[in-house]
Amino acid sequence: MTARFCEKSRELFSILKKGGEGQKPRPPVLLAPMAGITDSVFRRMCIREGCDFTFTEMVSASGLHFNNKKTRDLISIDPAETPCGIQLFGHDPALMADTVKRLFETLVSPDEISSVDINMGCPAPKITSNCDGSSLMRDPLLAGRIVEAAVKASPVPISVKFRKGWDDASVNAVEFARVMEQSGAAFLSVHGRTRMQMYSGAADRELIAEVVAAVSVPVVGNGDIFSADSAVDMLEKTGCAGLMIARGAQGNPFVFREIAARLDGKTPFVPTESERLGAALAHITEYCRDHGGGSFVDMRKHIAWYTKGMYGSTELRRQVNSCRDENELVSLVRAFMDAREVL
């Protein structure tokens, strides 16, 4: 079973490794699954900007198991955003296996979904308090049983995303990675921080390099990739097979185009403020079209990210946070954009 899925993962990475005409293939650049952020609209935007692979938001295996509608909506995949994987979280091996089995029997096709990722890295208290996410790093044997069960039930590769460890006293990513590989994981994504660090401090790239050296399956490096320079640094210091972008894509889907250009030996693309604001307006339009009335409030955080560092953005955020509908939100961003073009 492990060998079969390792071979599938190699095929997957071979497909994802892209390069310009006459150039060697480059490592794939993936969009990390982020709850409340990487919905279908955002995934499509990142694909258009050169992202090689996307994941759904973190989806509850229990929610799918009990046929929760809101949970089902999270796994809606548009053909324009493929290749795409579904990320699940849960701590019960039997329930995980049943969910994966039913997922492909009734909800999606293996032709639509390239992989299923199991979240063992989320640090949010509401997740870890239920023994999910990064809490599983404290019980590698249970984590291994979850992966084994999912692998046996899945027609597509199973991957695992995890962290450096629970805290500084229990850094176990290398040992954890070996268990995940032995359990049948096709590839691994490692965030170089402990759960207790959350997103503070710096991602430990030496630790990711140790994981790369310890296993034979592909390892994707995650943490502190915000630009082409930081992407190259991750590759050079870790030897990872791919890159995963999380916060670096917030308000900047162009980061994928920037990194791809650098890895292809071209001048990295850096968006102008007008291009960033144009992307924000397109994001509002697509998001509200897909999610309906009242959904404009979800765009407030995105506007803050798109305008970060721009002169006058603090006042814009204040206005955005009190606007009443989509039209007013669009008007505020357009006015801000027009004002910047005449500065």
Interatomic CA distance for residues 173 and 190, integer angstroms: 8
The pLDDT score that the predictor gives to residue 76 is 85
In which residue are the tokens 């509200």 written?
288
Positive or negative torsion for Cα 171, 177, 183, 185:
positive
For residues 142-162, average pLDDT = 96
Tokens of 99: 């969910």
Angle at 330 between CA 326 and CA 331, to 5 degrees: 115
Catalytic residues: 122
Percent of the chain scored above 70 by pLDDT?
92
Question: Are 219 and 211 contacting, i.e. CB atoms less than 8 angstroms apart?
Answer: yes
Q: Which residue has the higher pLDDT, 301 or 21?
A: 301
CA-CA distance, 232 to 210, in Å (whole number)? 18
Q: Which domains does the chain have, with CATH numbers?
A: 2-263 (3.20.20.70), 273-341 (1.10.1200)
pLDDT tens for 219-268 read 999 999 999 999 999 999 999 999 999 999 999 999 999 999 999 889 98
pTM of the prediction? 0.90
pLDDT band at 67 (very low <50, low <70, confident <90, very high): confident
The owner of tokens 């803050």 is 304
* Residue 238 near residue 208 (C-beta atoms within 8 A): yes
- Token pair of 4 as six digits: 């079969």
Residue 281 neighbours by CB distance under 10 Å: 16
pLDDT of 132 strictly over 80: yes
Each residue's pLDDT tens digit, 30-45: 999 999 999 999 999 9
| Average pLDDT value for residue range 80-101 | 93
pLDDT of residue 119: 98
8 A C-beta contact, residue 205 and residue 221: yes
Q: Cβ(138)–Cβ(168) under 8 Å?
A: no
- Count of positions (residues) in the chain: 343
